[in-house]
Amino acid sequence: MKQEKHIVQACPDFVLKKLGKEENFVTLSDLKGHPFVLHVWASWCGACLQEHNEWIKIKQRFPVTIVAVLYRDEGSVALEMLKEKGDPYSCVLEDKAGRLGLDLGLMGTPETFLIDKEGDIRYHRVGVLTASIFEKEVAPLL
Residues forming contacts to other proteins in the complex (CB under 8 A) are 42, 71-72, 97-99, 101-109
3-state secondary structure of 115: strand
- Three-class DSSP category at 42: coil
Amino acid at 115: I
Q: Which is nearer to other proteins, 77 or 102 (CB)?
A: 102
The CA-atom distances, in angstroms, between 49 and each of 13, 110, 118 are 27, 9, 31
Measured from the CB atom, the residue of 51 and 59 that comes closer to other proteins is 51
- CB of residue 10 vs other proteins: minimum separation in angstroms? 12
Q: Where are the beta strands (DSSP E) in 72-137?
A: 91-95, 111-115, 120-126
State the minimum distance, in angstroms, from the CB of residue 127 to other proteins. Answer: 12
CB of 102 to other proteins, least distance (A): 6
Q: Which residue lies nearer to other proteins by CB, 54 or 73?
A: 73
Asked if 88 contacts 59 with a C-beta cutoff of 8 angstroms, the reply is: yes
DSSP classification of residue 122? E
- Comparing CB distances to other proteins, the nearer of 86 and 105 is 105
Q: How far is the CB of 105 from other proteins (least distance, A)?
A: 4
CA angle 65, 3, 109 (to 5 degrees): 60
